[in-house]
Amino acid sequence: MFDRVILVVLDSVGIGAMPDAAEFGDPPGASTLGNIAARRTLRLPNFARLGLGNIRPLKGIEPSADPQGAYGACALASPGKDTTTGHWEMAGIHLAAPLPLFPDGFPPEIMRPFEQRTGRRAIGNKPASGTEIIKELGEEHMRTGALIVYTSADSVFQIAAHEDVVPLTELYRICETARGILAGPHAVGRVIARPFTGSPGAFTRTANRHDYALPPESGMLLDQLAARGVAVTGVGKISDVFLGRGITRHTASKGNTDGMSKTLAAMADQPAGLIFVNLVDFDSLYGHRNDVEGYARALEEADAWVPSVESAMRQGDLLVFTADHGCDPTTPGTDHTREYVPVLASGPGVRSGTNLGTRPTLSDVGQTVAQNFGTGIKHGTSFLPAIAA
């Protein structure tokens, strides 16, 4: 029904706690959008006219009397609240069990072979903020060449190294080594290269991050699109999350502003198929750092970008905004939060004002994309018939 779908993931922009949030360690009352709006006036006129305020009550964002898009929310059916879980579910993969976490650091059976195979000692090996751990251990790393290994509340094995101490090619090779070791019960969702530069007291993480995900199970959305010859452009970390599977063209981004610019460039170059976008700054720069003001500004910048996307749209386009989980910057701690995520769908051929309700799984988004291109995925119910004008 639509020649082209632009699917934009606003990373971590949740819209209210799920009923089982406490089971995942969330503080009571987590709501990324709701709590930011309660703390600081949010100016989101474009998301509001598409129906954002019609999904859930948000202070200062009134429900539209005539929404210009279809609107709703999705729950996470899989047991988790991280990037891999959310994006994979969007593509039709439901996890049977949570990805493993390491709140006490990684055990010797992981760290011993890691040090042996990389030829470098590891320091850290604990849950930590990425900016704080390089502040704490960066000088020792530069002096000794030891790798800074850390994790978080997510299923990740992160390796930080100064680009002048460990060249990027070596750091990426080290991450590939770690990915091979982290298997079976230790199979974390992602191994992440976290390069940085600068001097003690002034270290800065660079844009050369690279993620090494677990292989997604076969038959997911991007596999199905590839089988039908549907062109797919991934913007941001989409290719990393899915190991490049089904991606026709990949363009990395250096943050939200760069990702938004590259989305417009992809729209100019690709007349049909799927443009799959992740805008990461909400999560990585603001949610995990409890930066309410930064998160609010990033939301307003994304909202101000919406008219540019709409101007670049063609008659046969479908634009969908959603998220993969929450990361409420107002709550104690810096972890992700298990939340419903918003869904806003718009375009010239979309039935405006359609209430999609609260969907039981993010796979409904992927199933909608799949049905549009004449295929299907394992989980989810398409809302394509409800939105097609």
- CA 369 to CA 364: how far, in whole Å? 9
Q: Which two tokens stand for residue 155?
A: 């299923």
pLDDT digits (tens, 9 = 90+) for 270-302: 999 999 999 999 998 999 999 999 999 999 999
For residue 153, pLDDT beyond 80? no
For residue 247, pLDDT beyond 90? yes
Kindly state the average pLDDT of the residues 72-100: 95
Q: Following CA atoms 185, 242, 372, 8 in sequence, which dihedral angle do they give, to the nearest 10 degrees?
A: 110
Q: At what angle do helices 292-312 and 32-39 cross, to 10 degrees?
A: 110
For residue 43, pLDDT beyond 90? yes
Kindly state the average pLDDT of the residues 110-120: 98
- CA 273 to CA 234: how far, in whole Å? 11
For residue 106, pLDDT beyond 90? yes
What H or E segment, with its residue span, contains residue 20?
A: none
What pLDDT sits at residue 154?
Answer: 83
Is the Cα dihedral 281, 384, 250, 220 positive or negative?
positive
pTM, two decimals, is 0.91
Q: Domains in the chain and their CATH numbers? A: 4-96+215-387 (3.40.720.10), 108-213 (3.30.70.1250)
Asked whether 260 and 266 are in contact (CB, 8 A), the reply is no
For residue 56, pLDDT beyond 80? yes
Q: Which two tokens stand for residue 320?
A: 């969908």
Confidence of residue 333 (pLDDT cuts 50, 70, 90): confident
CA-angle at 360, arms to 354 and 366, nearest 5°: 75
Kindly state the average pLDDT of the residues 258-262: 98
Asked whether 233 and 266 are in contact (CB, 8 A), the reply is yes
What pLDDT sits at residue 348?
Answer: 96
Q: How many CB atoms lie within 10 A of CB 15?
A: 21
- CA 209 to CA 22: how far, in whole Å? 31
For residue 129, pLDDT beyond 90? no
Buried b (16+ CB within 10 A) or exposed e, 29-48: ebbbbbbbbeebebebebbb
pLDDT digits (tens, 9 = 90+) for 347-362: 999 999 999 999 999 9
Looking from the CA of 162 toward its CB, the CA atoms found within 13 Å total 21
